[in-house]
Amino acid sequence: AQSVSQHNHHVILSEAASLELGCNYSYGGTVNLFWYVQYPGQHLQLLLKYFSGDPLVKGIKGFEAEFIKSKFSFNLRKPSVQWSDTAEYFCAALSRAGGFKTIFGAGTRLFVKA
Amino acid sequence: NAGVTQTPKFRVLKTGQSMTLLCAQDMNHEYMYWYRQDPGMGLRLIHYSVGEGTTAKGEVPDGYNVSRLKKQNFLLGLESAAPSQTSVYFCASRHRDRSFRDTEAFFGQGTRLTVV
């Protein structure tokens, strides 16, 4: 079955530290990949997406992600986190082979200490 | 822009009661989804719809039913609520994009349901 795995469930960082959240997917073939963010008490919002072309994708708020096809990975990065980045982050995947369903990882809770 | 609107935002049910959650989107999206979010489990797909009049089961469909009588609305029903259905429910919608480009989902604000 198709799945999305996120490596870390909880991450605690100090402000200005660098962030990398891991994501692996099990789809074959053409795949769309996404990172969503959920701030406390809010709904999910799109951070960035990959569908083709340049494997390094830049999103909002200084986030970026790199698609590495050979590793089935789509890791999220930010060079210097802020307290306002405290949120839960979800990796998601959508493939032609998987039909019309977007599948989400379990999420990573990030807490940034001021 | 309203986007995706869910009603109600909060609800407490007694075991065995029934209720319907309403999702409405004003973006003319073809696809609509219902997810439940539980701690440590991410979002799990309950049911989805690829167009008016069509529905399909997701990962965790048991205990839920859905209907999509109008393109803009997607209803999630609980016929006999159980404590295991205590969760936060999110509705989402997206375009059916033939070029496979604009396929990100847009989410509602969520419904926090407690079954006692």
The CATH number covering residue B90 comes to: 2.60.40.10
Contacts of B110 in chain A (CB under 8 A): 43
Q: What pLDDT shows up at residue B82?
A: 97
CB B60 within 8 A of CB B44: yes
Query: How many other CB atoms sit within 10 Å of the CB of residue A102?
Result: 24
Q: What pLDDT shows up at residue B52?
A: 94
Q: What are the tens digits of pLDDT across the range B32-78?
A: 999 999 988 889 999 999 999 999 999 899 999 999 999 999 999 99
Q: Which amino acid is at B9?
A: K
Contacts of A90 in chain B (CB under 8 A): 42-43
CB A72 within 8 A of CB B7: no
pLDDT, mean of residues A32-58: 92
In the predicted structure, residue B18 carries a pLDDT above the cut 90: yes
Contacts of A45 in chain B (CB under 8 A): 107
Q: Which domain holds residue B20?
A: 4-97+106-115
Cβ pairs A/B, distance under 8 A = 59
Nearest-CA neighbor of B94 among B74, B79, B111, B64? B74
CB B14 within 8 A of CB B115: yes
CB A59 within 8 A of CB A75: no
Q: Which CATH code of 2.60.40.10, 2.40.30.10, 3.40.640.10, 3.30.9.10 fits the domain covering A4-113?
A: 2.60.40.10
Which tokens sit at B102?
Answer: 């604009």
Q: Total structural domains in chain B?
A: 1
Nearest-CA neighbor of B5 among B106, B112, B102, B77? B106
In the predicted structure, residue B98 carries a pLDDT above the cut 90: no
Q: What pLDDT shows up at residue B102?
A: 65
Q: What are the tens digits of pLDDT across the range A63-73?
A: 999 999 999 99
Q: What pLDDT shows up at residue A8?
A: 86
Nearest-CA neighbor of B69 among B48, B54, B89, B90? B54
Q: Chain A interface, mutation test: which of B49, B104, B111, B112, most A Cβ atoms within 10 Å? A: B104
- Report the distance separating Cα A57 and Cα A68, nearest Å: 11
List chain A domain ranges: 4-113
- Report the distance separating Cα B29 and Cα B71, nearest Å: 8
Q: What pLDDT shows up at residue B85?
A: 97
